[in-house]
Amino acid sequence: MLGPTCMTTAAQNRIPDSCQTLLSRLRRSTPPLARKLVFEGVGDRDVYNIAAPFELDGRQVIAGRVERRDVEHSDIVFFAEQGGTWWPIPAAATFPGLQDPCISFVGGGLVVGGVRFPVTVADGSVGWRMEFYRGTTLNNLLLFLTGPDKMKDIRLVELADERVGVLTRPQGAKGGRGKIGFLVSTSIETITAEAIQEAPLFQDQCRDEEWLGANEAHRLSNSLLGVLGHVAYFDRNEHRHYYPMAFCVNPCTGEASPPEIIACRADFPAGPAKRPDLVDVMFSGGLVRHGDGTATLYAGLSDAEAGCVRLPDPFARWASAPAEHTGTMTAERTPRGSVPSGHNRPNRFASKS
């Protein structure tokens, strides 16, 4: 009998590059066009770690993490722009206790995810857990999925055959400081915390002393997935350094490209930080592709502000990849826990360096 999920994996073929090596390759012919976003109507709280704007009911909407500078207890709030300033939408639901919103559209509906913190996890310790809500408007969103304990950066994307790709990010015994996994589910209803926990990891993307995670996934015109994420490390002073990155996934074979850093906190003017160790943090939120070879990246800055920057579209070259790199999306289902044929082929996206 065919099960609800198929697992995919990527072969390990290379030693991952360090964050600093990836950053050294960030070269631009012209300076990036970056600006900070202005949010009002939330009192003295900060708005950061935003998702990309999306259109709903004829207007552009941004979901943001809203939080006082001196605490880590936040709400997810929806904003609409008026006169260059983003204001809370009065009729929209808010999500007290949720951090770091993510947005996707699956099965014709809106899906909103966030990290609930703090929660008491199975071993009795304080931790976090992702929650996902879906609906058709900003005031009828209902909880439908809760992720595994202590796992952030779970992201959903509808595939070309209407199945659902799920990017995961375990830590600890399985993922170390944080590595990305991937599975495919027959539908949004069949995704479970257990399947998310069991998803195999891409093995060639990140050094063990560093970490990375997915922030948003785009289905490209050739059925590949363009993934926006972050890659990070601690320096010798235990200060965090976070960089937006992008990579590509073939959902049919599980092949994944190495990450490439696409922006950095220094693209923006200096500003406040939540703590001294968070100054050099740019946390990817979402990407708006313009169809002209450019895209706008939306992100949190230093856990205190939010901004956007116009860049060369990081997915453009993958979207135009030859058909042999895309595989064929079929309706055939793979039994749960198994790996589709072709998973052990060489990683054709892997760098030769």
* pLDDT digit string (tens) for the chain, length 353 residues: 234 445 444 444 679 999 999 999 998 888 899 999 999 999 999 999 999 999 998 999 999 999 999 999 999 999 999 999 999 999 999 999 999 999 999 999 999 999 999 999 999 999 999 999 999 999 999 999 999 999 999 999 999 999 999 999 999 999 999 999 999 999 999 999 999 999 999 988 999 999 999 999 999 999 999 999 999 999 999 999 999 999 999 999 999 999 999 999 999 999 999 999 999 999 999 999 999 999 999 999 999 999 999 999 999 999 987 645 544 333 233 333 333 323 333 333 333 33
CA angle, 90 then 92 then 97, to 5°: 105
pLDDT at residue 351 in the model: 32
SS3 label, residue 62 = strand
pLDDT at residue 324 in the model: 52
Return phi, psi of residue 247, to 5°. Answer: -155, 175
The answer to whether the Cα torsion of 210, 311, 168, 251 is positive or negative is negative
pLDDT at residue 269 in the model: 96
User: CA dist 236 to 113, 142, 143, 233, Å?
Assistant: 33, 43, 41, 10
Report the distance separating Cα 17 and Cα 353, nearest Å.
9
pLDDT at residue 18 in the model: 97
pLDDT at residue 100 in the model: 98
pLDDT at residue 27 in the model: 86
pTM comes to: 0.89
pLDDT at residue 323 in the model: 42
Sheet containing 211-219: give its strands across: 211-219, 225-234, 240-249, 260-261
Return phi, psi of residue 127, to 5°. Answer: -150, -150
pLDDT at residue 203 in the model: 86
C-beta of residue 72 within 8 angstroms of C-beta of residue 307: no
User: CA dist 176 to 32, 203, 208, 210, Å?
Assistant: 34, 12, 7, 9
pLDDT at residue 14 in the model: 77
pLDDT at residue 3 in the model: 43
pLDDT at residue 142 in the model: 98
For the stretch 296-331, what's the b/e string if a residue is b when 16 or more beta carbons lie within 10 angstroms of its beta carbon? bbbbbbbbbbbbbbebebbbbebbebeeebbbeeee
Report the distance separating Cα 312 and Cα 7, nearest Å.
32
pLDDT at residue 347 in the model: 34
